A and B are shown apart, each in its own frame.
Chain A
Amino acid sequence: EPEVTQTPSHQVTQMGQEVILRCVPISNHLYFYWYRQILGQKVEFLVSFYNNEISEKSEIFDDQFSVERPDGSNFTLKIRSTKLEDSAMYFCASSTGTGEQFFGPGTRLTVL
């Protein structure tokens, strides 16, 4: 069964450093998303991406964040200068349309 994959599973970084989180969405999906979940809290929408551009972003997704689909398979989230409060689990998701979103296993980001 096709699944969304994410790498790395865990990333530890120093405050102020740049990180890139990688995702491979399901191959025939057209919509891609990033969500984050601070430990023990709800899942929060960050950004959606369709037709090679950002469709919508939340207030959390400020100038420190960017997304890219550098080739036909990868979908990346870059945080330019990490802060302590960026520590969270980051989930990538994809969908064909308005229905079910398929989530990846997540990348746990720890900012020291």
Chain B
Amino acid sequence: DAGVTQSPTHLIKTRGQHVTLRCSPISGHKSVSWYQQVLGQGPQFIFQYYEKEERGRGNFPDRFSARQFPNYSSELNVNALLLGDSALYLCASSFYGALNTEAFFGQGTRLTVV
């Protein structure tokens, strides 16, 4: 079975640009969460989507947005990129999205803002 897949694996953007990151969850999983991992830190929660609706949002500015599609895949969008947005962006999927459900992580997208 395919795990959580994220694309692209790496990308470089210029300050002020916009970026879209993509995530395909494990087949049958209905919940997708996004995390930002800055170098040397643990991942930080950005969003959770369940059944195509936003279920939770972390402490991130409105420049960050996301959505989930009918096939449960998800996009994370970041506008007006700042140097501080450089990070590994991780997507996690789970079946129920409940607190005691194991989340499976993708390999991440490494975003570098120059």
User: Are A and B a genuine interacting pair, yes or no?
Assistant: no
Chain A interface (Cβ < 8 Å from any Cβ of B): none
Chain B interface (Cβ < 8 Å from any Cβ of A): none
